[in-house]
Structure 1
Amino acid sequence: MDIPKSALRYVDGDALKQLAQGLTFDLPQCEQVLDSALIGLNTQNGLPDRMLAWIRAGGVASGPGPVEPRGRIIVDITQTINVDGQQGYFAAVLCKNDEQEAAPVVFFSMHSPTLDVPMRVEVPLRALMLGNPPLAGSYTLYVHALISSDGATYVYYGITKRGWSIRFNEHTRAAVTQRSKRLLARKLDDLIDARAAELAGRKDDRAKLAGIVSSVCGTGMSREAALAAEERMVDKYSLASKHPYGLNMIPGGLAGIRHIRHFLRKR
C-alpha cells in the first residue's frame, strides 16, 4: 500500500520528483524506501531530526549542517529488476569514514542492461527533506562523470532550470542518434560505441564506458548564483582547454555567455 505524502516523516516528494525526474526509478516507491531508511537512521543517531531542525532554522544560511562524526552518511537506494521485468527497491544506510565530503547524501544506484555498466545518481540528502523552499523555478548545478575502462574519468558541469536528468538524456540522444559535435556527446558516443563492440565480441582497442556517475552539486539556486557556481567549477575542474579530462568546451556561467557573444560578433 502506498504511503500518503502527508505520512512521510522526512522526505519531500515534490523535491524528489524535481531532482529525479527522467530516471527509470519508481519515485513513489523511492519516497517510501528512503523515508523508512531515515526513520531507522533516526533511531540510531538522531541525524534526520537534527537535519529537519537545521532546515527549519534556515539551512545553509544558518551555518554548517549536521553530520555524523564517525563518517559520511550515504543512503544507497538500489533498483533491482527480476526476470519478469518487475522493479524492486531497497535502501542501505552506510557510514563511510574514507569520504572527502561529510554532508549526508543519497545514492540512486542502477545498472544499464544494454551496456552492462553501473550507473549512479548522487543527490544531497538535505535537498530531499521536508522544509526546504520549493525547487520549481530555481536552478540546479550538476556534474556528469564518465568512467572509462582505462581508469580515466571525464567530467562535465552544467546548470539547468529543468530536471537535470532530462538534460542528460538530451546529451545521450545527441551522442547516439544525432552525432553531436559537442565534446560531451562525442566522448560519450565514443565510449558507448567501444563498449558495444566489446559486448558484441569485436576487437576494439579504444577505451570503453565502464560507468556513469551524475551528482547534484547545488539546488534551489538563483540564476546569478548558478552562473557564478558553474563558472567557478568549470574553470577549476572541467574546461577542456585547461583539464585533459574536461568536457566543457567553453567557460561556464557569465564567462561562457561572454565567450559565445564574442564568437557570434566575429562571425
Structure 2
Amino acid sequence: MNERLRFVDPTALMHLSRGLTFNPLRSAEVLDDVLAAFDEKNGYVSDVQAWVRGGGLQNGPCPTLPSGRIVADVTETMNAERKVLHAAAILKLEREAGIAPGVFLSMVSPTLDVGMRVELPMRALLKGNLPLEGTYTVYLHVLMTSDGRDLVYYGITKRGWSLRFQEHTRSAISRESHRLFARTLRDLTAARARELHGVLDERPKLRGLITTICATGLCHGEALDVEEAMVEKYSLASKHANGLNMIPGGAAGLRAAQRFKGTH
C-alpha cells in the first residue's frame, strides 16, 4: 500500500493512531487523496514534504501559508447499517495563520456521545521521516466540560499515547487511581453517563475530548525537556486552575517522584 500513496506514510499514521477505532490503512488512503487534490492547486503539500525530506526542523520552521493554517480533517462515522465510513476535507483556519499544518482525526464516542478529536502534526505523517517506532511522544489531553472549562494534562510515552490513555481510563473506571487526571476523568464521564440515562446530576459533565500530539520522534531527553516546559507553562495543578498534572513534567517530575518514594 505504501507504494500507492503519494504523501502519507501509513506506518507513521498507524503508530500515532494505535489503539483508536480508526482504520489506519483506510484513513491513510482518504488522507492521501485529499492531500494530493489540494497539492494540485498550489503545490503546498509537496513543499512540506520536501522540507521533511531535507531534514525538517533542523533546517528551520515548517512551511506555512499566510492565508491560514492548513488542516486535513479525517472523520470516522457510522451509518444506519453500522458500516464505518471515512472521509477527509481540507480546512483553512485563518486565525491560526503561521502555525504548521496538521491532521485531525475526528470521531464521536459511541458510549458517551461526545465529540473526540486527535490532532497530529502533518509533518510526522509524510513520507521522508525517520521511523517513529522506538521514539518518544509528548501529548496533551484536553477534557472539555459542560461548565465551559478546558482541563489540560501533558504526558510522555514511548508505547503510544492512546494505550496510555486507555490505562488512565481503566484506572478511572475501577477507582484504583488517586491521580488528579484519572479522578477528574472518572467524575466527568460518570456524570455524563448519568445524564444520558436521564438521571439528575449537578456535577460538570464531559462534553468533548481533544488529544494533541505536541511532539513526536524524540529521544528520551528531548521528550523530557518538552514535557517539563509544557507542564510548567500550562498544566501544573498547583499553578494553573485548569491543570491536571500533579507534579512537574520531565526530569523535574522524575526527581519529585523519587523524593516521594524516598519518604514512603
TM-score of the superposed pair, with normalisation by structure 1: 0.97
Aligned to 1:120: 117
Q: CA deviation at 1:83?
A: 2.1
Query: What amino acid is the match of 2:246?
Result: M
- Equivalent position SS for 1:166: helix
Query: What amino acid is the match of 2:135?
Result: S
Distance 2:245 2:97 in 1: 24
Distance 1:25 1:48 in 2: 23
Q: CA deviation at 1:69?
A: 1.7
Segments of 5+ residues of structure 2 without an aligned counterpart are: none
Q: CA 1:64 to 1:140, structure 2 compared with 1: closer, same or farther past 3 Å? A: same
Check the 8 A contact 2:172/2:185 in 1, yes or no.
Answer: yes
Q: CA deviation at 1:84?
A: 2.4
Query: What amino acid is the match of 1:210?
Result: R
| 1:73 is the counterpart of 2:70 | yes
Distance 1:99 1:147 in 2: 20
Percentage identity across paired residues of the two chains: 52
**Structure 1 vs Structure 2 CA RMSD:** 1.0
Aligned to 2:188: 191
Check the 8 A contact 1:179/1:185 in 2, yes or no.
Answer: no
Aligned to 1:242: 239
Q: CA 1:249 to 1:101, structure 2 compared with 1: closer, same or farther past 3 Å? A: farther
Check the 8 A contact 2:119/2:213 in 1, yes or no.
Answer: yes
1:111-138 deviation per Cα after TM superposition (whole angstroms, max 9, x unaligned): 0121111000000000000000111111
Q: CA deviation at 1:101?
A: 5.9
Q: CA 1:214 to 1:134, structure 2 compared with 1: closer, same or farther past 3 Å? A: same
Q: CA deviation at 1:235?
A: 0.7
The 5 Å alignment of 1:68-147 reads 68-99=65-96, 102-147=99-144
Aligned to 2:61: 64
| 1:214 is the counterpart of 2:191 | no
Distance 2:250 2:115 in 1: 31
| 1:175 is the counterpart of 2:172 | yes
Query: What amino acid is the match of 2:160?
Result: G
1:2-57 deviation per Cα after TM superposition (whole angstroms, max 9, x unaligned): xx211110001111111011010011100100000110110112111101111111
Distance 1:64 1:235 in 2: 24
| 1:43 is the counterpart of 2:40 | yes
Check the 8 A contact 2:68/2:98 in 1, yes or no.
Answer: no
- Equivalent position SS for 1:156: strand
Check the 8 A contact 2:66/2:97 in 1, yes or no.
Answer: no
Q: CA deviation at 1:100?
A: 6.6
Check the 8 A contact 2:65/2:98 in 1, yes or no.
Answer: no
TM-score of the superposed pair, with normalisation by structure 2: 0.98
Distance 2:177 2:82 in 1: 32
Query: What amino acid is the match of 2:67?
Result: R
| 1:260 is the counterpart of 2:264 | no
- Equivalent position SS for 2:96: coil
Check the 8 A contact 2:66/2:98 in 1, yes or no.
Answer: no
Runs of 4+ aligned structure 1 residues displaced above 3 Å come to: none
Aligned to 2:153: 156
Check the 8 A contact 1:157/1:234 in 2, yes or no.
Answer: yes
- Equivalent pairs counted in the alignment come to 264
Distance 1:118 1:66 in 2: 30
